[in-house]
Amino acid sequence: MNQESPIFAKAYDLLGWLLPATAKFPRQQRFVLARQIEEAAFAFHRAILRAASRRGRGLAEADLQLATLRIYLRLACDLRFYSLRQYEHAARLVDELGRLVGGWKRKVADPLAATTASRGRGAGAGPRPARRVVEQQPDQPPDGEPEQQHAGQPEQQHRVPLRE
């Protein structure tokens, strides 16, 4: 995975947003919770860089760091070091990073499936499982049986125009 992938850009954006936001924490917490949040974010960034150099191996570490970061961000919001709006923004970024890591893990686990899924329905997409096609038959009774009213179906009513 190259360094221009969306996961690296999103991780960079997260770091760019987190560092100034944690600098605004109360002085006591800048060296406790703010530091933990920053370390988890940097550890996540290091883990995805390491995974890229190892062709996807080590993504479990990135996933763990992202889960840790989620917890710390939630704690910071609960302690009111972030506003709800700031937390929503951070949670959105972290959620998107989680989806990107998950997609990367699936791609590494089954490279053939990931390449065919990314190509979509176009030519060269490879074999697809057969679909079962069921044709809808008109409502006709089987040969030799008289027409019967099926349970649950109302009787057909003839409409008669009303005269004024």
Tens of pLDDT, residues 58-112: 899 999 999 999 999 999 999 999 999 999 999 999 999 999 999 999 988 876 7
Q: Give the domain CATH number at 32.
A: 1.20.1440.60
- What is the rounded distance in angstroms from the CA atom of residue 162 to the CA atom of residue 160? 6
Higher pLDDT, 154 or 100: 100
In a domain, 133, yes or no: no
- What is the rounded distance in angstroms from the CA atom of residue 108 to the CA atom of residue 58? 11
In a domain, 164, yes or no: no
Query: What is the number of structural domains in the chain?
Result: 1
In a domain, 11, yes or no: yes
In a domain, 40, yes or no: yes
Closest C-alpha among 3, 79, 72, 67 to residue 38 = 72
Closest C-alpha among 153, 14, 1, 38 to residue 90 = 14
Q: How many CB atoms lie within 10 A of CB 68?
A: 17
In a domain, 123, yes or no: no
Domain that holds residue 63: 6-113
In a domain, 152, yes or no: no
- What is the rounded distance in angstroms from the CA atom of residue 18 to the CA atom of residue 28? 18
* Position 135 pLDDT exceeds 70: no
Q: Has this prediction a pTM greater than 0.85? A: no
Q: What are the tokens at 50?
A: 């390491």
Residue 57, pLDDT score: 85
Which 3 state secondary structure label does DSSP give 139? Answer: coil
In a domain, 31, yes or no: yes
